[in-house]
Amino acid sequence: FRSSTRGLPEPPQLPALPLIGSLLSLRSPHPPHVFFKGLQGKYGQIYSLMMGSHRVIIINHHKHAKEVLMKKGKVFAGRPRTVTTDILTRSGKDIAFGDFSATWRFHRKIVHGALCMFGEGSASIEKIICAEAQSLCSILCEAAAAHLSLDLSPELTRAVTNVICSLCFNSSYCRGDPEFESMLEYSQGIVDTVGKDSLVDIFPWLQMFPSADLRLLKHCVSIRDKLLQKKYDEHKADYSDHVQRDLLDALLRAKRSAENNNTAEVSAESVGLSDDHLLMTVGDIFGAGVETTTTVLKWAIIYLIHHPQVQRRIQEELDSKVGCGKSPQLCDRGSLPYLEATIREVLRIRPVAPLLIPHVALSDTSIGDFTVRKGSRVIINLWSLHHDEKEWENPELFDPGRFLNSEGTGVTLPSSSYLPFGAGVRVCLGEALAKMEIFLFLSWILQHFTLSVPQGHPLPSLEGKFGVVLQPAKYKVNATPRPGRLFFK
Ligand code: HEM
Ligand code: PLO
């Protein structure tokens, strides 16, 4: 390998692209995270490849992942620009796909503050989530009474959307709301197309990024932008400095305050509080808030259906620790270790973002014993970390017990090869919120219902569809009310 000025070698590099093409036949259509994990056998834990003209380094081991995300977090805090993310975010004017900058840092801080504010107050996050859990349970009840099998996806999505909608816009959607239906459609279109352009160079089986995909993306983004603009205009119209209803108000307040302190050099625009930046930040939180949590809930339900004994044990835990006369609350989390362990196991076995979001080296640096040049893209293969045979016994087996202490009375982390939310300066902003939602929605559902596959249907597929989030395929469930539980209206 070519050696650098610092004396360290460059990571092993994959041969020319046509050869990679030949490694992948259509008969073994591995998604990228699985393919990258497999390449370790030949190239080691760190290797690089060329994506068009970009050097990409793939990281498969937790010690290197932590070096990138935590120890050298700032050096690797950059994000690449791609055609599709530029369309989605008006050229990186958001948090997740925006490059490392003062603006990025400022927006993270505002969002963080706004999310924390919701911990307290009358409309606390917990109350909002429980109200949605209640309404979700009454819909399951209705379906059960009519002996219907349900595709839970639209209802789960609406429950999760209403939580993030309350936090972002102080609003929510009723069943059948046309704005919600259109959101479902545009968001799926975005998930199906965004980020794909940067992978087609390595994966010939993704085929040329077709212009039809680009058209779909642009169409979906324009519908999303109209929705965001409408919320923005409404908020501007009845904005008051004295009340902060939601995240959008928090962003507007920061903008007003920058405008009031406006000097010749420092304008709201120049500190990154332009209308575009505000819209893209709230668009990120809204999008992330919907697609990630919904995906985890869908995976959790799939695994519960595959493992009825896990479901039963969670229900026994709920019965003994919460009882059936009251609904689960956040303060019950500590006394429900088996449910907590199950959530951890779902996030391990099917990580929402198996390759995180690509990072970029902002200066010449190193990872492990390899030199890394400024501008290199770095992909953390979370799939490799979560399925590392040296760290996890039988990694493809769904076993919540691996996250329990030996007495079964508390949760543990059996391996440090586990980063479902990333780590360091780019760590997920919604981790606490997502964990509250997953805990409350699952505990409410399982307190009242037993989930199973409808008669004559196959068990739902465990294979995910790779994209900016790893989504499960559609499936139907029966929700059978448990005897003697509260009745929902
Ligand atoms: C970033 C996971 C829910 C907002 C990320 C990253 C991961 C992740 C792996 C990328 C970290 C990196 O690139 O190094 C998850 C999982 C979730 C979840 C597993 C659900 C279980 C949420 C929610 C929100 C959110 C509910 C919104 C409130 C964000 C944002 C970023 C991010 C804004 C970008 C951070 C940055 O680049 O600075 N998340 N997330 N996430 N997440 Fe989440
Ligand atoms: C989901 C579709 C939405 O319409 C737009 C959107 C915004 C933010 C993205 C999110 C999508 C997918 C999941 C992402 C999130 C930012 C952070 C999160 C990528 C594309 C993760 C898991 O990293």
Pairing of strands 478-481, 449-452: antiparallel
pLDDT tens per residue across span 269-319: 777 899 999 999 999 999 999 999 999 999 999 999 999 999 999 999 999
Beta carbon of 296 within 6 Å of any ligand 1 atom: yes
The residues, any chain, with a CB within 8 Å of residue 330's CB and separated by 6 or more, are: 126, 436, 439, 440
Whole-angstrom distance between the N-terminal and C-terminal Cα of the chain? 68
pLDDT tens per residue across span 321-354: 999 889 999 999 999 999 999 999 999 999 999 9
What pLDDT, on the 0 to 100 scale, is given for residue 152? 95
- Average pLDDT of the residues in 6-27: 64
Q: CA 307 to CA 341: how far, in whole Å?
A: 14
Phi-psi region of 368 (alpha: psi -120 to 50; beta: other; left: phi over 0): left
Residue 2, pLDDT > 90, answer no
What pLDDT, on the 0 to 100 scale, is given for residue 22? 38
Type of residue found at 489: K
The residues, any chain, with a CB within 8 Å of residue 435's CB and separated by 6 or more, are: 343
Beta carbon of 470 within 6 Å of any ligand 1 atom: no
Residue with tokens 């349900």: 150
Q: CA 93 to CA 103: how far, in whole Å?
A: 9
- Ligand 2 neighbours, Cβ below 6 Å, are 96, 187, 190-191, 194, 224, 284, 287-288, 291-292, 352-353, 357, 468-469
Could you tell me the pTM of the whole model?
A: 0.95
- Closest atom, ligand 2, to C-alpha of 96: 16
- Average pLDDT of the residues in 77-82: 95
The CA 108 to ligand 1 mean position distance, Å, reads 12
Quote the DSSP letter at residue 27.
Answer: T
Residue 206 pLDDT class (50, 70, 90 cuts): low
pLDDT tens per residue across span 396-449: 999 999 999 999 999 999 999 999 999 999 999 999 999 999 999 999 999 999
* Ligand lying closest to the C-alpha of residue 352: 1
What pLDDT, on the 0 to 100 scale, is given for residue 202? 63
What pLDDT, on the 0 to 100 scale, is given for residue 25? 35
Residue closest via CA to ligand 2's atom 12 equals 288
What share of the chain has pLDDT > 90, as a percent?
A: 80
Where are the extended beta strands (E) located within 358-463?
359-360, 365-367, 370-372, 377-380, 449-452
Mean pLDDT, the chain, rounded, equals: 91
ipTM summary value: 0.99
* Ligand lying closest to the C-alpha of residue 68: 1
What pLDDT, on the 0 to 100 scale, is given for residue 343? 98
The residues, any chain, with a CB within 8 Å of residue 16's CB and separated by 6 or more, are: none
Residue closest via CA to ligand 1's atom 32 equals 428
* Ligand lying closest to the C-alpha of residue 357: 1
Identify the residue with better confidence: 213 or 303: 303
Closest CA to 479 of 439, 446, 437, 441: 446
Q: CA 354 to CA 423: how far, in whole Å?
A: 14
Least confident of 50-54, 250-254, 322-326: 50-54
Residue 51, pLDDT > 70, answer yes
Beta carbon of 424 within 6 Å of any ligand 1 atom: no
Beta carbon of 168 within 6 Å of any ligand 1 atom: no
Q: CA 377 to CA 51: how far, in whole Å?
A: 10
What pLDDT, on the 0 to 100 scale, is given for residue 485? 72
Closest CA to 444 of 233, 213, 183, 129: 129
- CA 153 vs. chain centroid, Å, equals 16
